[in-house]
Amino acid sequence: MSSETNLMYVDGHWVEADSGKHFEVKNPANGEVVGTAPSGGWAEARRAVVAAARAFPAWAALPAKERCNLLLHVGYEMQARKEQLARLVTLEEGKPLAEAEAEVLYAAEFLTWSAEEAKRVPGEMIPASVANKRILVLRQPIGVVAAITPWNFPFAMITRKIGPALAAGCTVVVKPAEQTPLSAMALFRLFEEAGFPAGAVNLVTGDPAEIGKEFLSNPQVRKLSFTGSTEVGKLLMRGAAEQVKRLSLELGGHAPFIVFEDADLDRAVDGLVACKFRNAGQTCICANRVFVQEPVFNAFSAKLADKVRLLKVGNGLEPGVQLGPLIDEPALAKVRAHVDDAVRKGAKALCGGRPRLDGDFGKGHFFEPTVLTNVNTEMKIAVEETFGPVAPLIPFRSEEEVLAKANNTPYGLAAYFYTRDASRLFRVMEKLEYGIVGANDPAPAVPQAPFGGYKESGLGREGGRYALEEYVEIKNVSIAI
Ligand code: ADP
């Protein structure tokens, strides 16, 4: 990939950073440089915001049907070019090609779904209390939206934000993660090809803190949508207070995965493998704590270890690979620290437990798929998000006990449970303090459903019709006639 094409997209032009400097993007499977991106900062971000603000009135005034058609165009192009786009994801993010392709299709659907929903942002007329008044409620696009996205889903985390924002009539400035700007650039080429007006969609890459500060301090940015760590989310929330800037935050999780004694164990094992080891455990809705009821604990852990042991680890571009590398060295170090701490405190690895350093694996950031037993709440792994391919198993006795343990965390993004008892299904579903619950289902995140967390896992919802609500202001117009 040549560096000339690796540029930012501002006001309808592909541009370098003012400094002319770039940063490197490395393949996490082998450390090779796969491309570069401009090292932009506050000045480039400001220009992008100005362009987005200039483009806003015309974009907002465009009939929803036309916004819809433009978004559909990009969504369909993503589908048509899924192999090429998926390759890019695997190269810079590391997930196996089949997962990358699934991500591209998932990402495309945020555009097509939002496109159709653009036509359904209605107002309302409310009966007044007196005869000579009429009350109208308008839903109007907020204005310029800044989006800061993470590396774990380089396409989907962008389209999940800008699909509904553009559909609602907002213009956008995106700052992708430093690890994965190349997918973002490929996406913005499709926006350009589709004929989006200059300034409606902008992409800036570079210094996160500087760009973030500009987004927060620039009054032309009316809304900030962020997905990433709780730490950075809190920092942005503090910064947003100054201008009472609208915020959507999708932060960390610490998902419980509960297996009741009446569960279909094979289904629960398959569900856990899918939910825990997808993207090498690097999703914010990954199972982080696996609670298994005592009577089935041994049977479940044996079945699970048998499956996990067989997962093929390697470079995601190779056929048959099911588990790619972690994104970078700090990610690998964190997983290692969590497992070492647990083992030191008495946990036992039924399989895995170490980084893969043999042969070519040593050039990347690979960790063996791991199942731990004898886990207790003194261990880091039981209280912090691991973001890696490690399943810590914790036994429990009663429904009441496990619900208390599952909810005993400041996080509240996703939770999973397996049962065949219909009454329990309702009881547990209602008591879990989580924004997303998978009941016998390891894959609850789909474009038409709301995605977001309780407690410190965030603010607002993405996905479905709920997403568009995040990008409109509501205006009460009281008319005396
Ligand atoms: P992770 O630990 O998963 O990389 P981060 O929260 O650090 O999560 O990153 C998510 C996104 O937030 C990335 O696009 C990153 O560049 C951005 N980011 C990191 N630090 C800041 C900051 N101080 N201000 C604004 N954005 C930031």
DSSP 8-state class, residue 311: P
Q: Which of 158, 180, 232 to mutate to test ligand 1, by most ligand atoms within 8 A of the CB atom?
A: 232
- Asked if the model's pLDDT at residue 4 lies above 80, the reply is no
Predicted local confidence at residue 422, as pLDDT: 98
- Nearest-CA residue for ligand 1 atom 22 is 209
Task: Enumerate residues 6+ apart whose C-beta is below 8 A from 106.
Answer: 153, 156, 447
- Nearest-CA residue for ligand 1 atom 9 is 228
Q: Is the CB of 149 under 6 A from ligand 1?
A: yes
Task: Express each pLDDT in 271-325 by its tens digit.
Answer: 999 999 999 999 999 999 999 999 999 999 999 999 999 999 999 999 999 999 9
The pTM assigned to this predicted structure is 0.97
Pick the atom of ligand 1 nearest to 175's CA.
14
Give whole-number Cα distances, 271 to 206, 416, 441, in Å. Answer: 38, 9, 7
Residues in the chain, total = 481
Identify the bridge partners of residue 414 per DSSP, sorted by sequence position. Answer: 436
Angle, helices 422-431 vs 399-407, to 10°: value is 30
Q: Is the CB of 217 under 6 A from ligand 1?
A: no
**What does the buried/exposed string (b/e) look like for 59-81 if buried means 16 or more CB atoms within 10 Å of the residue's CB?**
bbebebeebbebbbbbbbbbbee
Predicted local confidence at residue 5, as pLDDT: 63
Q: How far is the CA of 150 from the centre of ligand 1 (A)?
A: 7
Q: How far is the CA of 119 from the centre of ligand 1 (A)?
A: 33
- Provide the mean pLDDT of the chain: 97
Confidence of residue 2 (pLDDT cuts 50, 70, 90): very low
The pair phi, psi for residue 75, each rounded to 5°, is: -60, -45
Q: Is the CB of 209 under 6 A from ligand 1?
A: yes
Q: What is the C-alpha separation between 136 and 127, in angstroms, rounded?
A: 9
Task: Express each pLDDT in 242-275 by its tens digit.
Answer: 999 999 999 999 999 999 999 999 999 999 999 9
Q: Is the CB of 232 under 6 A from ligand 1?
A: yes
Least Cα distance to 121 among 389, 469, 422, 470 occurs for 469
**DSSP assignment string, 317-371:** TSTT--B---SSHHHHHHHHHHHHHHHHTT-EEEE--SEE-SGGGGGTTEE--EE
Q: Is the CB of 148 under 6 A from ligand 1?
A: yes
Task: Express each pLDDT in 188-234 by its tens digit.
Answer: 999 999 999 999 999 999 999 999 999 999 999 999 999 999 999 99
Q: Which of 25, 158, 229, 334 to mutate to test ligand 1, by most ligand atoms within 8 A of the CB atom?
A: 229
Q: What is the C-alpha separation between 53 and 125, in angstroms, rounded?
A: 30
Domains observed in the chain: 8-251+457-480 (3.40.605.10), 255-446 (3.40.309.10)
Q: What is the C-alpha separation between 402 and 397, in angstroms, rounded?
A: 8
Q: How many CB atoms lie within 10 A of CB 474?
A: 11
DSSP 8-state class, residue 153: S
Catalytic residues: 250, 284
Pick the atom of ligand 1 nearest to 176's CA.
14
Amino acid at 167: A
- Asked if the model's pLDDT at residue 3 lies above 50, the reply is no
Q: Is the CB of 341 under 6 A from ligand 1?
A: no
- Nearest-CA residue for ligand 1 atom 14 is 177
- Asked if the model's pLDDT at residue 1 lies above 70, the reply is no
- Asked if the model's pLDDT at residue 473 lies above 90, the reply is yes
Q: Is the separation of the CB atoms in 16 and 38 below 8 Å?
A: yes
Q: Is the CB of 212 under 6 A from ligand 1?
A: yes
Task: Express each pLDDT in 63-101 by its tens digit.
Answer: 999 999 999 999 999 999 999 999 999 999 999 999 999
Q: How many CB atoms lie within 10 A of CB 427?
A: 15
Pick the atom of ligand 1 nearest to 178's CA.
16
Task: Express each pLDDT in 430-458 by its tens digit.
Answer: 999 999 999 999 999 999 999 999 999 99
